[in-house]
A and B are shown apart, each in its own frame.
Chain A
């Protein structure tokens, strides 16, 4: 079971998730301190690693883009559920191992308990069920490899050793 810890509306921009003014910080491991920097409460929880495994950030439509916006949220056990994602954000999430779920009809509030399966998101609190759009198969291959770095490494070894 997972719980919605933060709900945010439609068209969440890259500057909302990871403000451009913090872009001098480049190491992925250093980015969580600035996640949602202008939203003190959620920022404090992500920064302090206080989010329990099974925490959900819930976005509306068009969630996304720069890489730091994905890496700053890429902590084990945190899932982002949204109606849909901006292209670059979805790609970056897959590349850096942030778990995303595309759920076009999701309806939930902060505090709601959700159960996520490969085909649907069940809102246990509300007693509703919402279908999940599977990842395009091209992207699933990268997820299955554990992210783009190990995926590329495998190809690198095949191609340069040949």
Chain B
């Protein structure tokens, strides 16, 4: 019987010839990523060693990556103290892959990992963050785990008791129409599957529209696969993956593409024609409350946000700058831009994108998670409405339970910034 990508990766990571959905395995881990919640991981890690008489040392410091992004620079003394504790732990354990609050190495974890060459096809990647699903964009099996589970990984180097997930195959044919792209595809898919439709499953993406999609777009769709409940989203690695690793991530070693078998067994097959998709919007307060833009056109917006691990990459900023060039953000609407990493920030600066956006009235905020999770850098007032390219719109997500968040693509966000109401980017050009 053939294997899906997830099955193949998990077979390799456990030294078996084959595994199938439902098997229980303990895969070895290639990359273990944490952000500020490493403070909690450290607490749990130390507890594991308590009473054993063994020194609390991690299994392999080179496979751990720690990236500050959720609260940068620290928004409170509590965060600053946690970050300090993490720095001390990193130094003590000799963890070489640490991305501190620095312009020459910082940014959002889910963009830092791919662009620095940490991710390879076939890897098992775990992260203490729901959106760790992102890295399936490079053909890895990548999933979010809790801090206690990460403490276990730091100790043993493998994830205990993983059930091999079944896989939903999503085949996307056709070409996107102008003004429509990967974000609209994933919002449409989440709307179809619902927030629990892929719970405990992997979404494996196929079809011409995926083969032609850049790694940036693939990161967007894998990032949000978790919003349909998926353990991981995976795009089988191909020549685009190799191009990205060589040209953008500085990887020089041989890359082993892991592709599914032709007779792999899927739980479900979903077919989508990209050419038929309209821009899509996720309406308050769930990510699967998805409608075509036409259904919500005209809704007044107080705050527009472009950024995050979902849509804070260079092509996203290019789309926004293209729409806003020489124009102005509507009066009464504020626009915040968070490039995903400092590398992207610098590229956007060199290309003049930041200047275009600032001239239009946007505020450029330092790379990081920013207001996405409601901690700082752009909370909403009572009764206010945000339109954002981020990945979650749960009640209170942007810091205020008495506000609303709509999710959209960078094109919709930029077109709506011009009008101050939700607008169709196909009409903006």
User: B276 interface residue, CB < 8 Å from A?
Assistant: no
User: A159 interface residue, CB < 8 Å from B?
Assistant: yes
Which residues of chain B are within 8 angstroms of A95 by Cβ–Cβ distance? 146, 148-149, 152
Task: Tell whether A24 pairs with B78 under 8 Å between CB atoms, given A15-B392, A92-B149, A148-B148.
Answer: yes
Nearest first, the 5 closest Cβ-Cβ pairs linking A and B are: A20-B373, A138-B161, A62-B196, A67-B146, A92-B146
Q: In the complex the two chains form, is A141's CB within 8 Å of B200's CB?
A: no
Number of chain A residues close to chain B: CB under 8 A: 47
Which residues of chain A are within 8 angstroms of B52 by Cβ–Cβ distance? 153, 156-157
Q: In the complex the two chains form, is B196's CB within 8 Å of A152's CB?
A: no
Q: Would you give 8 A-B contacts (Cβ < 8 Å), ordered by A?
A: A15-B373, A20-B375, A21-B373, A70-B146, A96-B148, A139-B161, A149-B148, A156-B54
Partner of B397, one of A20, A67, A160: A20
Task: Tell whether A21 pairs with B399 under 8 Å between CB atoms, given A11-B286, A88-B144, A156-B49.
Answer: yes
User: B48 interface residue, CB < 8 Å from A?
Assistant: yes
Number of chain B residues close to chain A: CB under 8 A: 55
Question: Which residues of A71-99 are within 8 A (CB) of B?
Answer: 84, 86-88, 91-92, 95-96
Partner of B152, one of A13, A27, A148, A161: A148
- Using an 8 Å CB-CB cutoff, how does the interface string of A131-162 with B read, 1 for contact, 0 for none? 00000111101100001110111011101110
Of B3-11, B37-45, B253-261, which binds chain A?
A: B37-45
Q: Which B residues are closer than 8 A to A by beta carbons?
A: 24, 36-37, 39-40, 43-44, 47-52, 54, 70-71, 75-76, 78-79, 82, 128, 130, 144-149, 151-152, 155-156, 160-163, 195-196, 199-200, 229, 231, 286, 288, 373-375, 392, 394-397, 399, 401
Question: Which residues of A9-63 are within 8 A (CB) of B?
Answer: 11, 13-16, 19-21, 23-28, 38, 61-62
Q: In the complex the two chains form, is A14's CB within 8 Å of B78's CB?
A: no
Closest to A140 in B: B161
Which residues of chain B are within 8 angstroms of A26 by Cβ–Cβ distance? 37, 39-40, 43, 82
Partner of A27, one of B24, B43, B200: B43
A-B contact number at CB 8 A: 149
Closest to B47 in A: A149
User: A100 interface residue, CB < 8 Å from B?
Assistant: no
Overall SS of chain A's interface: helix
In the assembled complex, how far is the CB of residue B23 from the closest CB belonging to chain A, in whole angstroms? 10
Q: In the complex the two chains form, is A87's CB within 8 Å of B229's CB?
A: yes
Which residues of chain A are within 8 angstroms of B401 by Cβ–Cβ distance? 19, 38
Q: In the complex the two chains form, is B54's CB within 8 Å of A138's CB?
A: no
Which residues of chain B are within 8 angstroms of A151 by Cβ–Cβ distance? 152, 160
In the assembled complex, how far is the CB of residue B20 from the closest CB belonging to chain A, in whole angstroms? 15
Which residues of chain B are within 8 angstroms of A157 by Cβ–Cβ distance? 52, 54
A70 to B145 CA separation, bound complex (whole angstroms):
12
Partner of B151, one of A20, A21, A139, A149: A149
Task: Tell whether A88 pairs with B145 under 8 Å between CB atoms, given A24-B82, A25-B78, A149-B48.
Answer: yes
Closest to B285 in A: A13
User: A65 interface residue, CB < 8 Å from B?
Assistant: yes
Q: In the complex the two chains form, is B40's CB within 8 Å of A15's CB?
A: no
A62 to B226 CA separation, bound complex (whole angstroms):
12
User: A130 interface residue, CB < 8 Å from B?
Assistant: no
Q: In the complex the two chains form, is B48's CB within 8 Å of A153's CB?
A: yes
Task: Tell whether A87 pairs with B200 under 8 Å between CB atoms, given A26-B39, A92-B149, A157-B54.
Answer: yes
Q: In the complex the two chains form, is A155's CB within 8 Å of B156's CB?
A: yes
Which residues of chain B are within 8 angstroms of A25 by Cβ–Cβ distance? 78
User: A66 interface residue, CB < 8 Å from B?
Assistant: yes
Q: In the complex the two chains form, is B148's CB within 8 Å of A66's CB?
A: no
Partner of B229, one of A16, A86, A138: A86
A11 to B79 CA separation, bound complex (whole angstroms):
29
A156 to B40 CA separation, bound complex (whole angstroms):
20
Which residues of chain A are within 8 angstroms of B200 by Cβ–Cβ distance? 87
Q: In the complex the two chains form, is B148's CB within 8 Å of A67's CB?
A: yes
A117 to B37 CA separation, bound complex (whole angstroms):
36
Which residues of chain A are within 8 angstroms of B39 by Cβ–Cβ distance? 26
Task: Tell whether A138 pairs with B48 under 8 Å between CB atoms, given A24-B76, A26-B82, A67-B148.
Answer: no
In the assembled complex, how far is the CB of residue B396 from the closest CB belonging to chain A, in whole angstroms? 5
Q: In the complex the two chains form, is A21's CB within 8 Å of B394's CB?
A: no
A156 to B156 CA separation, bound complex (whole angstroms):
7
In the assembled complex, how far is the CB of residue A160 from the closest CB belonging to chain B, in whole angstroms? 6
